[in-house]
Amino acid sequence: MRYLIFSDVHGNLEALNVVLKLAGGENIDQYLCLGDLVGYGASPNEVIDKVRALQPLSIIRGNHDKAVCESESLQTFNPIAAMAIRWTKENISENNLDYLCKIKKGPLKTQDDITICHGAPFDEDYYIFGEFDAAEAFLHIETKLTFFGHTHFPFVYKEKDHLVEGTYVSGNFSKLKLKKKTRYLINPGSVGQPRDRNIRSSCAIFDSEAGEMYFHRLEYKIETTQKKILDAKLPPALAKRLFAGI
Ligand code: ZN
């Protein structure tokens, strides 16, 4: 099986398009989406339309998806993120809102001994930002391989004999051969709002037969995405940060 793993699209259609274009040439058998289809970007409807058409798809919700669907306070979000969530609530179609709100909370076990979650397996809102967090996460995982999102940093944590080691996935392409007797907790990075100062869209492919992961960073037309954000009267900072990769 060949999987496309992607996360944190955040309403960025142009970035999603380059990821799906790559997937189109990669004989993908299964799509794994780790949440946050919306929030920040100006194309929530177009993004949901594209993602819901992917077959077969395993998907879990992210914290922004949840915030758009629930009426609870936006206190956990910074003011700019909260503004974008309010904007999304006003601009999402009824049909897409219905789809978004039916996406289940992770973690979710899929085939090939894989778990997917948004933040951490024990809390969808938790940021796994280091080896101690990862070690805690491994305690809650039964599968060999887990994919998570939320931090917008492509990262690989491996656990062998209870020792956890984390590595940032740098560069625009890299390959990882999965080892036996080792468990992995992997973040494919963010499609629509990378924060590791690499402005290219991030995603990963997993080939379960080869036991290999491939990490991709793809160029897209950031100017188009920025113009849409500005035209939609979303906070200009959301356009600006895409060029800084933060
Ligand atoms: Zn996110």
Q: Give distance in angstroms: CA of 181 to centre of ligand 1.
A: 31
Q: Give distance in angstroms: CA of 239 to centre of ligand 1.
A: 15
Considering only the top CATH level, what class is 2-243?
Answer: alpha beta
Q: Which residues surround ligand 1, an ion (CB under 5 A)?
A: 8, 36
Q: Give distance in angstroms: CA of 152 to centre of ligand 1.
A: 6
Q: Give distance in angstroms: CA of 29 to centre of ligand 1.
A: 25
Q: Give distance in angstroms: CA of 22 to centre of ligand 1.
A: 21
Q: Give distance in angstroms: CA of 194 to centre of ligand 1.
A: 9
Q: Give distance in angstroms: CA of 65 to centre of ligand 1.
A: 9
Q: Under 8 Å CB-to-CB from 148, ≥6 apart: which residues?
A: 7, 34, 116, 117, 118, 119, 120, 121, 128, 137, 185, 186, 187
Q: Give distance in angstroms: CA of 42 to centre of ligand 1.
A: 15
What pLDDT is recorded for position 133?
98
What pLDDT is recorded for position 72?
78
Q: Give distance in angstroms: CA of 164 to centre of ligand 1.
A: 24
pLDDT tens sequence for the chain (246 residues): 999 999 999 999 999 999 999 999 999 999 999 999 999 999 999 999 999 999 999 999 999 999 999 987 788 899 999 999 999 999 999 999 999 999 999 999 998 899 999 999 999 999 999 999 999 999 999 999 999 999 999 999 999 998 999 999 999 999 999 999 999 999 999 999 999 999 999 999 999 999 999 999 999 999 999 999 999 999 999 999 999 999
Q: Give distance in angstroms: CA of 10 to centre of ligand 1.
A: 7
What pLDDT is recorded for position 99?
98
Sketch the domain layout of the chain as residue ranges.
2-243
DSSP 25-83: TTT--EEEE-S--SSSSS-HHHHHHHHHT-SSEEE---HHHHHHH--S--TTS-HHHHH
Q: Give distance in angstroms: CA of 190 to centre of ligand 1.
A: 7
Q: Under 8 Å CB-to-CB from 166, ≥6 apart: which residues?
A: 130, 131, 134, 155, 156, 157
DSSP H helices in the chain: 13-24, 44-52, 63-69, 79-91, 94-102, 131-139, 222-231, 236-244
Q: Give distance in angstroms: CA of 191 to centre of ligand 1.
A: 9
Q: Give distance in angstroms: CA of 161 to centre of ligand 1.
A: 31
Q: Give distance in angstroms: CA of 180 to centre of ligand 1.
A: 31
Q: Give distance in angstroms: CA of 210 to centre of ligand 1.
A: 30
**Peptide bond preceding 56 in cis form (omega within 30 of 0):** yes
What pLDDT is recorded for position 73?
78
Q: Give distance in angstroms: CA of 64 to centre of ligand 1.
A: 7
Separation of first and last alpha carbons in the chain: 33
